[in-house]
Amino acid sequence: MAKKTYDLLFKLLLIGDSGVGKTCVLFRFSDDAFNTTFISTIGIDFKIKTVELQGKKIKLQIWDTAGQERFHTITTSYYRGAMGIMLVYDITNAKSFENISKWLRNIDEHANEDVERMLLGNKCDMEDKRVVPKAKGEQIAKEHGIRFFETSAKANVSIEKAFLTLAEDILRKTPVKEPNSENVDISSGGGVTGWKSKCCS
Q: Which residues have C-beta within 8 Å of that of residue 123, sequence separation ≥ 6?
A: 20, 21, 90, 91, 92, 129, 152, 153, 154
Within a 10 A sphere around the Cβ of 89, how many other Cβ atoms? 26
Of 76 and 165, which CB lies nearer to another protein in the complex structure? 76
Least distance CB 42 / another protein (angstroms): 7
Of 3 and 177, which CB lies nearer to another protein in the complex structure? 3
Q: At what angle do helices 159-173 and 22-31 cross, to 10 degrees?
A: 80
Least distance CB 52 / another protein (angstroms): 16
Helices in the chain by DSSP H: which ranges?
22-31, 72-76, 94-98, 100-110, 134-143, 159-173, 195-200
Of 45 and 169, which CB lies nearer to another protein in the complex structure? 45
Least distance CB 25 / another protein (angstroms): 17
Of 74 and 155, which CB lies nearer to another protein in the complex structure? 74
Assign 8 to helix, strand or coil. Answer: strand
Of 45 and 160, which CB lies nearer to another protein in the complex structure? 45
Q: Tell me which residues touch another protein (CB under 8 A).
A: 1-3, 5, 31, 42-46, 48, 73-74, 77, 182, 184, 186-188
Q: How far is it, in rounded angstroms, from Cα 83 to Cα 95?
A: 27
Least distance CB 160 / another protein (angstroms): 20
Q: Tell me which amino acid residue 24 is.
A: C
Greatest Cα pair distance, the chain, in angstroms, is 52
Least distance CB 77 / another protein (angstroms): 8
